[in-house]
Chains A and B, each alone.
Chain A
Amino acid sequence: MDARTATLELTAEDTGSLKALIGRFADRRSAILPGLHIAYDRFGFVNLDLCRQIAAVLDVPAVWVWEAATFYTFFPKQKVGRFHIKVCNNLSCALRGAYDMMNYLEQKHGIKRGQVTPDGLFSLVGEECLAACAAAPMLQLNDAYHENLTPEKLDRLLEECKSKAAGEAREARARA
C-alpha cells in the first residue's frame, strides 16, 4: 500500500529513529523538528495526530510539536500530491519567468496552485527563495531541485512523473 494513503501512524522504525536522535541534544525539545521531518518523509505532510505521536515519543507536550509544525512552512499541514511541486517565485526566479511557468503548469497541465490534481498525482505551490537563484527558473519536486527550466524540460519532467506513477500502480496491482 502507498505510504501516503496508509493509516497515519508512525512506524516502529520511525519512532525508533526519532528516539535515537534525542541523545544528540542537551534538551529533548530539540528533537521536535527532526520528528516533524520523519513524519513528513513518511506521509508528505504533518497533522495534529502525527504531532501527538511525535510528542509521545519525545515525552513533551503535544502543543510544543504543533506550534513548531504550524510555524515552519516546509511541512504541509494537509495531504499533498504524489509529486509536490514548489515553484520558486521570488525575484531572481520571477525575473526569468517563474510566474509564466506557474501559469503554464496551471493552464497546460491543469495543476492548480494550492490544489491537488483529482488523480492525486500533483500539487503545486508558489515558494519563496530556494537558494537556486543562478539557475532560474526552478522548482523543487518533492526533495529534488530542477533548475534552468524551459517549457520542454518541464513537460519532460512531468511525463517522467506520470510514468513513474504508472509503474508504481502496476507494481501495486501485481502485489495485490
Chain B
Amino acid sequence: MPELKLVTRDFERAKQEDIRTYEAGGGYTMLARALRDFTPETLVAFVKDAGLRGRGGAGFPTGLKWSFVAKNTGKPIYLLCNADESEPGTCKDRELIDKDPHLVIEGCLIAAYAIGAATCYIYARGEFASGAELLETCLAEAKQRGFVGRGILGSKFDCEIHVYRGGGAYICGEETALIESLEGKRGMPRVKPPFPAVVGLYGCPTVVNNVETLATLPRLLEMGVAAFKALGTEKSPGTKIMSVSGHVRRPGNYEVRMGTPLLELINDLAGGVPAGRKLKAVIPGGSSVPVLPADKCNCNVDFESLASAGSMLGSGGCIVMDESTDMVWSTVRLLKFYEHESCGKCTPCREGTGWLARIFDRILEGGGKPNDIELILDICSNIEGNTVCPLGDAAVWPIQSSIRHFKSEWDDAVAGRRRVAAPPWSFAGQEAGVGA
C-alpha cells in the first residue's frame, strides 16, 4: 500500500509557507466553510461523527474532548495547540510546522471556532526556534488577511493566536503540565479530575490538541465524514503520519491510511533494514510504548491492531531495530531518558526511575546479581499505575516488554556474559545519502 498524503499533501509545494501559495491551493477556504456552514455545536458533532482521534499519543476522540468544554461559565475558553513534540522517535509535528504552517493555523482556527475559544496558544518546544519564528510570520500574514483577529472573515468569530515557546521539557507534552508551563510554572502535571475542559489554563475551560490532529481538520471538512471514514479502519478513521527511524534505509515521515500493515510501512516505504540484516524489534508508537519483537510485527498501523499485538499506536514514532541491536542497551538508553525527564512530583516515578538507572548501570558494568531481573520487574510494577501522569507507565512499559520478549539477552547481561555497547556511526556512513 503506498503513502496516502492527506495532511502532508502539500509538503512538496514550493513556498507553501507563503500565504499566497497556501491560499492558491485552497487554503483557509475550510475555515470559511466552517464559519458559513456550521455552528460550533454542529461542528463538534461533525468531528465526533468522523471519529477523529487525537494524534499526539493517547488517541482520545477529538470531538468528544471538545464536547466536554464547560459552557456558559462566564470564563474565557482556551485552545492550546500542543507542539511540544518530544516523544523519542517522533518528528512529524516539527515537519508539519516547517512545511505547512498555515495548515496548522487553519486547523487551530477551526477548532477554536468549534469550542468557542477567542484565544489560542501554540505551545512549541523551546528548541523549535525556527518553527516558532515561521509561525509568527505566518500569523502576522494571516492576521493581515483577516483570518486571525477580530470578526474573522466578516463573522462574529474572534480569535487571537500566539506562539509560546517552552523550555525543552518532555513532560510538557502532557496536557496539564503544558498548562502549568504556559502559566509560567514548572511543568508538573496536575491531578485529574478536574479535566482541562473544565479547569484548565488560568482555571478556565481549555482544550489541548496535538499539531497533527489540528492539521487534519481542514482536510476532514474538505472531504466530509464518509470519505474520511472510508480511509482507515472502523475505530481508527483517517490517516496517520508515521515517523520511521533507526535501522531502515529510508527513514522519514510517511503518511499512511490507518490499517496499513506495519511491515509494509517499514519495508516498502522506509526501505526495510539494510541488506544482509534481519529485523529484530520495532517500537511502533514512540519510545513510551511496548517494544514488539519481529515475529509480532504482523499487525497494522491503527489503534486496535497495535493494541492487540501488545503495543500501541501512540504518537506514530516507529523506531526500527535490526539484529545488531543490543536490546538491553537500547532499553537502558530509554530508561535514562525517563529518569532525566521525570518531573519529580510523584515518588514512584522520581525515585523508581533513578533506582532502575542505578541497577542498569551496575549491570552494564558487569556487576549483575542473580535476582536483578525480579527486582527490576518489582520496581516497574510499583511505578506503573501509581503516578499522576502517564510518564511513570511510559518509563516501565519498554522495560517490561523488553524483558518479556528478549529474556535471554537480559539473563546474559545480568550474568556478565556480554559486553553491551552503543551502536556505531558507520551505519549512517554505509548508507550515505540516505534520508538526506
Q: Which A residues contact B (CB, under 8 angstroms)?
A: 24, 26-27, 29-34, 36-37, 60, 64, 67-68, 71-75, 90-92, 94-101, 104, 128-137, 140, 143-145, 147-151
**Contacting B184 at CB < 8 Å: which of A29, A147, A149?**
A29
Q: Which of B125, B167, B184 contacts A75, CB < 8 Å?
A: B167
Among listed B6-14, B158-166, B350-358, interface-contacting one: B158-166
Closest Cβ of chain A to B246, distance in Å, is 4
- Which one of B130, B187, B245, B337 lies within 8 Å of A136 (CB-CB)? B245
Ordered by A's residue number, 13 sampled pairs between the chains whose C-beta atoms are within 8 Å are A26-B202, A30-B164, A73-B167, A73-B168, A91-B89, A91-B334, A92-B88, A95-B321, A95-B330, A131-B90, A131-B125, A134-B91, A135-B435
Given contacts A95-B319, A134-B91, contact A72 B245 (CB under 8 A): no
Min Cβ gap A141→B in Å is: 12
When A and B form their complex, what is the total count of cross-chain residue pairs whose Cβ atoms lie within 8 Å? 181
Which 3 residue pairs of A and B lie closest in terms of their CB atoms, listed nearest first?
A72-B167, A97-B425, A74-B168
Give the CA-CA distance A31 to B246 in the complex, in Å. Answer: 38
A148–B427 contact, CB under 8 A? no
Q: Which residues does chain B contribute within 8 Å of A130, judged by CB atoms?
A: 127
Closest-by-CB residue of A relative to B283 is A91
> Which residues of the other chain, A, contact B309 by a CB distance below 8 angstroms?
none
Nearest-neighbor residue (CB-CB) of A99 within chain B: B422
Q: A145 to chain B: which residues have CB within 8 Å?
A: 130
Does the CB pair A97–B432 fall under 8 Å? no
Measured between beta carbons, the chain B residues less than 8 angstroms from A151 are 425, 429
Contact between chains at A144 and B130 (CB < 8 Å): yes
- Residue in A closest to B132 when the chains form the complex, CB atoms: A37
Report if A91-B333 is in contact (Cβ < 8 Å); known contacts: A30-B182, A99-B422, A148-B436. Answer: yes
Give every chain A residue within 8 A of B343 (Cβ-Cβ). Answer: 71
Contact A149 B428 (CB under 8 A): yes
Cβ contacts under 8 Å, A91 to chain B: 88-89, 246, 283, 287, 319, 330, 333-334, 337
Within 8 A of A (CB), among B382-436: 422-429, 432, 434-436
| Residues A150 and B88 in contact, CB atoms below 8 Å apart | no
Whether B166 and A72, one on each chain, are in contact in the complex, defined by CB atoms closer than 8 angstroms, is yes
The interface-forming segment of B42-50, B106-114, B217-225, B247-255 is B247-255
Q: Are A95 and B325 in contact (CB under 8 A)?
A: yes
Interface size class of B (residues with CB under 8 A): 35 or more
Known contacts A90-B88, A91-B88, A144-B130; 18 further A-B pairs (Cβ under 8 A): A29-B185, A30-B182, A74-B166, A90-B334, A90-B337, A95-B246, A97-B428, A98-B425, A100-B422, A100-B426, A128-B341, A131-B90, A134-B91, A134-B243, A134-B244, A134-B251, A143-B130, A148-B435
Q: Mark B325-341, 1 if CB is under 8 A from A, else 0.
A: 10000100110010011
Q: List the B residue with the shortest CB-CB distance to A149.
A: B428
Instruction: Evaluate whether A97 and B167 lie within 8 angstroms (CB atoms) in the complex, with A90-B88, A129-B89, A143-B129 already known.
Output: no
Tell whether, in the assembled complex, residue B183 and residue A131 are in contact, meaning their CB atoms are under 8 Å apart. Answer: no
Min CB–CB distance B326 → chain A (angstroms): 11
Assembled-state Cα–Cα distance A129/B340 (Å):
12
Q: Which residue of B lies closest to A29 (CB)?
A: B184
Residues of B within 8 A of A (CB): 76, 85-91, 93-94, 125-130, 162, 164-170, 181-187, 202, 243-247, 251-253, 283, 287, 317, 319, 321, 325, 330, 333-334, 337, 340-341, 343, 422-429, 432, 434-436
- Whether A74 contacts B86 in the complex (CB less than 8 A), given A97-B423, A128-B337, comes out as no
Contact: A94 with B184, CB < 8 Å? no
Smallest beta-carbon distance B153→chain A, Å: 23
Q: Which of B164, B319, B321 has the most chain A CB atoms inside 10 A of its CB?
A: B164
Contact call B423/A94, Cβ cutoff below 8 A: yes
Closest to B202 in A: A26
Taking a contact as CB atoms under 8 Å apart, the answer to whether A140 and B127 are in contact is: yes
**Is there an interface contact between A97 and B94, defined as CB atoms closer than 8 Å?**
no
Q: Is the CB of B126 within 8 A of A37?
A: yes
Residue of B nearest to A145 (CB): B130
User: How long is the Cα–Cα vector from A34 to B162 in the complex, in angstroms?
Assistant: 12
Q: How far is the CA of A131 from the CA of B76 in the complex (A)?
A: 33
Contact: B428 with A96, CB < 8 Å?
Answer: yes
Residues of B with C-beta under 8 A to A133: 88-91, 243, 245, 251, 317, 319
Q: Which residues of B contact A64 (CB under 8 A)?
A: 184-185
| A90-B337, A92-B319, A144-B130 given; A71·B167 CB < 8 A | yes
Query: What's the least CB distance linking B157 to chain A, in Å?
Result: 20
Nearest opposing residue in chain A for B130, CB measure: A143
Query: Which residues of A are found within 8 Å of B246, using beta-carbon distances?
Result: 91-92, 95-96, 136
A131-B91 contact in complex given A73-B168, A74-B167, A95-B247, C-beta closer than 8 Å:
yes
The reply to whether B184 and A27 form a contact with Cβ atoms under 8 Å apart is: yes
Closest chain B residue, CB of each to CB of A89: B333
Chain A residues with Cβ below 8 Å from B88 are 90-92, 128-129, 133
B86 touches A128 (CB 8 A): yes
